[in-house]
């Protein structure tokens, strides 16, 4: 008789965090109204974030006009030896509903400090006030803006990477496909940290991770229903990059997944789809962690391992692109 495989153990830091959340009787996102979820998420990320590092400057810019305008935050490094440096477009997570420039500020600062490249983070419009495809449109607008302003910003347009976690990973993957299709200028690398890749269905993780974690299957259904205008939107590759007609001819990718995450299976399926289509892919899987690790640098030690892996992948991949 075959025994059922044991569930991988959680890292002790994660266990301690979950125990503290249970002791505080913290409600899940899906039990909150949107305003409460945003406030709670902001408070949690402020506590869990990496210590903020100094950079040369931080400047907010406006992209677009009128009702579709949004803010981009430009981080410049203290030391840069390149007149036209690589750059990263960082797209924050939060289920398209929560998250902000501030929630991922410490991550962008650490990327800027380690790589000595400009980082541009975007405050794309959130759901449910702005449903799909508003966040996609803002991501596309940000890539066009980066290319148009590359000379003024000291950026090499041939070495722009798109990076995001969770919903941001979804938007980064979508941007890479859009670049292949000629809908936006090219991107050189995609860093996808526990990305959402399929809103048109539910992978095994939705039924496997149902309680005890900050993000569960019910949590993802809550985010999905607030983001999409209709179930049919989930069939659109701009919401579900795993459903794109082809995953061929896309930029090199780092795909990070977490075992204790309802998005684990679809993230790994996306990595496999890229590989099967002939893509250059590095997969990184954490068997002992949950969704949200990159935002927990002050609480979970392995967040540093994740961030350093992302930094190394960016440095190696973009170094392979000839400088101007």
Give the C-alpha distances (Å, rounded to integers) separating 122 from 139, 292, 319: 8, 19, 24
Distance CA 281, CA 272 (A): 9
Distance CA 132, CA 188 (A): 25
Instruction: Return the SS3 of 279.
Output: coil
Give the C-alpha distances (Å, rounded to integers) separating 94 from 11, 42, 76, 112, 118: 23, 10, 25, 22, 23
What are the residue numbers of the active site? 166, 261, 291
Please check whether residue 53 is in contact with residue 297, taking contact to mean a CB–CB distance below 8 angstroms.
no
Instruction: Return the SS3 of 254.
Output: strand
Distance CA 150, CA 157 (A): 6
DSSP E strand stretches across 126-200: 155-165, 189-193
Give the C-alpha distances (Å, rounded to integers) separating 131 from 126, 142, 268: 7, 18, 26
Kindly tell me the sign of the dihedral angle through the C-alpha atoms of 171, 196, 91, 101.
positive
- Which of 72, 74, 69 lies closest to 56 in space, CA to CA? 74
Residue 205 has a CB neighbour count (10 Å cut-off) of 24
- DSSP type of residue 94: S
- Which of 153, 158, 203, 208 lies closest to 185 in space, CA to CA? 158
Q: What is the DSSP string of 161-177?
A: EEEEETHHHHHHHHHHH
Strands 70-76 and 119-123: antiparallel
């Amino acid at each position: 008789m075959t025994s059922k495989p044991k569930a991988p153990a959680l890292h002790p830091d994660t266990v301690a965090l979950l125990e503290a959340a249970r002791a505080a009787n913290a409600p899940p996102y899906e039990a909150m109204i949107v305003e409460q979820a945003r406030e709670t998420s902001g408070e949690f990320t402020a506590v869990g974030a990496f210590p903020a590092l100094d950079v040369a400057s931080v400047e907010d810019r406006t992209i677009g006009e009128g009702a579709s305008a949004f803010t981009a935050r430009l981080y410049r490094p203290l030391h840069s030896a390149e007149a036209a440096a690589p750059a990263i477009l960082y797209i924050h997570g939060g289920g398209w509903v929560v998250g902000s420039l501030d929630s991922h500020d410490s991550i962008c600062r650490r990327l800027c400090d380690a790589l000595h490249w400009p980082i541009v983070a975007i405050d794309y419009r959130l759901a449910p006030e702005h449903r799909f495809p508003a966040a996609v449109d803002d991501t596309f607008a940000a890539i066009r803006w980066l290319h148009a302003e590359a000379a003024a910003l000291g950026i090499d347009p041939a070495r722009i990477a798109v990076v995001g976690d969770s919903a941001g990973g979804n938007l980064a993957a979508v941007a890479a496909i859009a670049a292949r299709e000629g809908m936006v200028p090219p991107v050189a690398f995609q860093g996808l940290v526990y990305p959402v890749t399929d809103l048109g269905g539910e992978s095994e993780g939705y039924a496997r991770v149902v309680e005890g974690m900050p993000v569960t299957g019910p949590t993802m259904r809550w985010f999905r229903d607030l983001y999409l205008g209709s179930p049919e939107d989930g069939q659109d590759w701009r919401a579900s990059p795993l459903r794109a007609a082809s995953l061929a001819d896309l930029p090199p990718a780092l795909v990070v997944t977490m075992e204790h995450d309802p998005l684990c299976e679809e993230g790994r399926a996306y990595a496999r789809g890229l590989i099967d289509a002939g893509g250059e892919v590095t997969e990184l899987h954490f068997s002992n962690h949950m969704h949200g690790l990159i935002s927990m640098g002050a609480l979970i030690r392995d967040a540093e391992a994740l961030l350093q892996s992302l930094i190394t992948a960016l440095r190696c991949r973009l170094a392979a692109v000839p400088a101007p």
